A and B are shown apart, each in its own frame.
Chain A
Amino acid sequence: MDASVQHDQATIPDGDKLSSVMQTIAEHKGCGTSGGSGKASCGSGAGENDLPPEIWEKVKNHPCYSEEAHHHYARMHVAVAPACNIQCNYCNRKYDCANESRPGVVSEKLSPEQAAKKVLAVASTIPQMTVLGIAGPGDPLANPEKTFKTFELIARTAPDIKLCLSTNGLALPDHVDTIAGFNVDHVTITINMVDPEIGAKIYPWVFWKHKRYTGVEAAKLLTDRQLQGLEMLTERGILCKVNSVMIPGVNDKHLVEVNKAVKSRGAFLHNIMPLISSPEHGTVFGLTGQRGPTAQELKALQDECEGEMNMMRHCRQCRADAVGLLGEDRSAEFTTDKIMAMEVNYDIDSRKAYQEAVESERVAKVVARQEELASLAGQSSDIKLLVAVATKGSGLINEHFGHAKEFQVYELSTAGAKFVGHRRVDLYCQGGYGDEDSLETVIRAINDCHAVFVAKIGGCPKSDLQAAGIEPVDQFAHEFIEKSAIAWFKSYLDKVNSGEIEHIVRGDAEIRQGALTSAA
């Protein structure tokens, strides 16, 4: 078998190196324990100076593992793994819609050979594409032949692309050696519970060793296998991210325990995502009216867990065939028909040159942020507030308000600007005319923010935003986000101190549940 050949050839770090890596992972506990030293952000937002060099090397161009990287680097998923071995109450395998953007949902299923061609085509077109993930639409490890064949083909033709996979963990312990053999150094496990009683409310059944298990028995089996798989991966020095779906009233409080359980087993990053659930999705939770969390409920839980370990807040819950920067989806440019017709010339050197340019852009951003941050030194205030930013990437305020498909949210305080999440919105502006309902949707999505930073904004939405108490800010167009946000915050504090304005605490905001209905 090709897979076993690959495995034999794989380089596995020697014992000393491995244990030193694991030691550094264990010692790095995120910002919660290293204190509020004025770092711009922590956890998944950790930058070069916040992480041990070995870990930084692994995450620095992985958009899903580094918040900092996600402004600059792109990823793609190939949908080679349609089968699943468990059923989740937030998933409906029958659902497939071109307008839908949810994990586990995909339109086009690929063979490993088609997937390899697609990866080359995308990597040649988008040089900042550094990561290939297999995330379904089922479970990659319920389709081991297809998954590992795809890795094998890509490792051979595009060796500079990082491979990663995302699994429910049920079959994980059986495949850890093969995963290590393919040098897959990022694995995501979705762990929604460590208590089978809670698990029984999330998973109706699992299929394991030729048998369908239900209820608490199924959940017990799943949690045991997930935690065992996590331990096996971290023992081998493979970085693990844990995804958890926050389901209010079911596992929301329990996720603090999950966080502790996965941290103690060496997980690097925890990504708590809001449940996406509406009746039209046809999921069990959608049909029973189970609600998802509000923006503030989600943030409060993420903040609570952050003292324990690195938290990811930039997840876009993307499709299993997503292509591009997080928050954008260019998959429509790379349908199977188009790929098969493409002449692909994979030029590793030009990719490298492009990525070097991205690195220098990134360094400039960090320097700008630090300079601005220095000017905040000496200021003391308890004020903490959120601002929304319209961006197309590169860490710049470079999107028109009306063109934004999402807003990135930063928390500002005298400690600096910290990325704390993003809000998806419908396209407000389509072809130049404003749509009032869409503007209301945008306002609801960023209602907890004091200001919105944009490259440009029309007069009408500007006055509506002001009426809603959100200040539209376009004076920092095409400048770095964090630097601009800190500068704005400084002047905000000055105005509060001089009595020119009064600081008012904002209300909650809505997390968007429906499909992306507007054409991209």
Chain B
Amino acid sequence: MTLKIIASQCTSCSACEPECPNVAISEKNGTFVIDPKKCTECLGHFDEPQCAAVCPVDNTCVIDNSYPRYQPPA
């Protein structure tokens, strides 16, 4: 799995972008998006996904169930 940003709720405040340890977040069409290929849900980096922890709007950075669970390298 990966996290995704619900575009309709994103205020485009950019708080998440520098917090991402994987540089997976970028601005696209006025809001921010997470690159599912780079997102690791912050596993191995931090206790909680940083984008969700810093986001000012609740339930905006959420788990995207359409992707398989991220497997940290052994």
Binding site for B on A (CB under 8 A): 82-85, 87, 93-94, 96, 109, 137-138, 142-143, 207, 210-212
Q: Tell me the minimal C-beta distance from A99 to chain B in angstroms.
A: 18
* Residue B53 interfacial (CB < 8 Å): yes
CB distance B48 to A138 under 8 Å?
no
Cα distance A85–B18 in the bound complex, in angstroms: 12
Q: Tell me the minimal C-beta distance from A433 to chain B in angstroms.
A: 39
Q: Tell me the minimal C-beta distance from B9 to chain A in angstroms.
A: 7
CB distance B48 to A211 under 8 Å?
yes
CB distance B50 to A84 under 8 Å?
no
CB distance A138 to B15 under 8 Å?
yes
Cα distance A236–B50 in the bound complex, in angstroms: 34
Given the contacts A94-B57, A212-B53, A212-B54, A138 and B46 also touching, CB distance less than 8 Å:
no
Given the contacts A87-B56, A207-B54, A212-B53, A82 and B14 also touching, CB distance less than 8 Å:
yes
Q: Tell me the minimal C-beta distance from A285 to chain B in angstroms.
A: 16
Q: Tell me the minimal C-beta distance from B53 to chain A in angstroms.
A: 4
* Residue B74 interfacial (CB < 8 Å): no
CB distance B15 to A210 under 8 Å?
no
| Contact sample, A vs B, 12 pairs, CB 8 Å cutoff | A85-B54, A87-B56, A93-B56, A93-B57, A94-B9, A94-B57, A96-B11, A109-B12, A137-B13, A142-B15, A207-B53, A210-B47
Given the contacts A84-B15, A142-B15, A211 and B53 also touching, CB distance less than 8 Å:
yes
CB distance A83 to B57 under 8 Å?
no
How many residue pairs link A and B with beta carbons under 8 A? The number is 45
Cα distance A212–B19 in the bound complex, in angstroms: 12
Residue of A with least CB distance to B56: A93
Q: Tell me the minimal C-beta distance from A235 to chain B in angstroms.
A: 29
Cα distance A82–B50 in the bound complex, in angstroms: 17
CB distance A85 to B48 under 8 Å?
no
Tally chain B residues at the interface, Cβ within 8 Å.
16
Q: Which of B15, B46, B50 contacts A83 (CB 8 A)?
A: B15
Q: Tell me the minimal C-beta distance from B12 to chain A in angstroms.
A: 7
Cβ–Cβ < 8 Å partners of B54 in chain A: 83, 85, 207, 212
Cα distance A373–B47 in the bound complex, in angstroms: 66
Cα distance A210–B15 in the bound complex, in angstroms: 12
Cα distance A96–B13 in the bound complex, in angstroms: 12
Cβ–Cβ < 8 Å partners of B18 in chain A: 83
Residue of B with least CB distance to A145: B18
Task: Scan B17-39; emit 1 where CB is below 8 A from any A CB, else 0.
Answer: 01100000000000000000000
Cβ–Cβ < 8 Å partners of A96 in chain B: 11
Cα distance A109–B14 in the bound complex, in angstroms: 11
Cα distance A211–B18 in the bound complex, in angstroms: 14
Cα distance A328–B43 in the bound complex, in angstroms: 50
Given the contacts A212-B48, A212-B53, A212-B54, A83 and B14 also touching, CB distance less than 8 Å:
yes
CB distance B11 to A94 under 8 Å?
yes
CB distance B46 to A82 under 8 Å?
no
Cβ–Cβ < 8 Å partners of A210 in chain B: 19, 46-47, 50, 53
Cα distance A96–B19 in the bound complex, in angstroms: 24
CB distance A84 to B13 under 8 Å?
yes
CB distance B11 to A93 under 8 Å?
yes
Cα distance A207–B55 in the bound complex, in angstroms: 9
Residue of B with least CB distance to A138: B13
CB distance A211 to B15 under 8 Å?
no
Cβ–Cβ < 8 Å partners of B57 in chain A: 93-94
Task: Scan B47-74; emit 1 where CB is below 8 A from any A CB, else 0.
Answer: 1101001101100000000000000000
Cα distance A165–B41 in the bound complex, in angstroms: 34
Q: Tell me the minimal C-beta distance from A204 to chain B in angstroms.
A: 10
Cβ–Cβ < 8 Å partners of A109 in chain B: 12
Cβ–Cβ < 8 Å partners of B56 in chain A: 84, 87, 93
Q: Tell me the minimal C-beta distance from A102 to chain B in angstroms.
A: 15
CB distance A82 to B47 under 8 Å?
no
Most buried by B among A94, A96, A138, A210: A210
Residue of B with least CB distance to A91: B56
Residue of A with least CB distance to B45: A210
Cα distance A163–B10 in the bound complex, in angstroms: 31
Q: Tell me the minimal C-beta distance from B7 to chain A in angstroms.
A: 13
Cα distance A518–B31 in the bound complex, in angstroms: 30
CB distance B53 to A82 under 8 Å?
no
Q: Tell me the minimal C-beta distance from A386 to chain B in angstroms.
A: 39
Cβ–Cβ < 8 Å partners of A87 in chain B: 56
- 4 more CB-based (< 8 A) A-B contacts, given A82-B14, A212-B48, A212-B54: A93-B57, A210-B46, A210-B53, A211-B46
Cα distance A401–B61 in the bound complex, in angstroms: 50
Q: Tell me the minimal C-beta distance from A445 to chain B in angstroms.
A: 32
Cα distance A307–B12 in the bound complex, in angstroms: 44
Most buried by A among B9, B13, B19, B53: B13
Cα distance A84–B9 in the bound complex, in angstroms: 16
Q: Tell me the minimal C-beta distance from A410 to chain B in angstroms.
A: 40
CB distance B15 to A85 under 8 Å?
yes
Cα distance A431–B11 in the bound complex, in angstroms: 37
| 9 smallest beta-carbon distances between A and B, as pairs | A83-B15, A212-B53, A93-B56, A82-B13, A207-B54, A210-B46, A93-B11, A83-B14, A83-B13
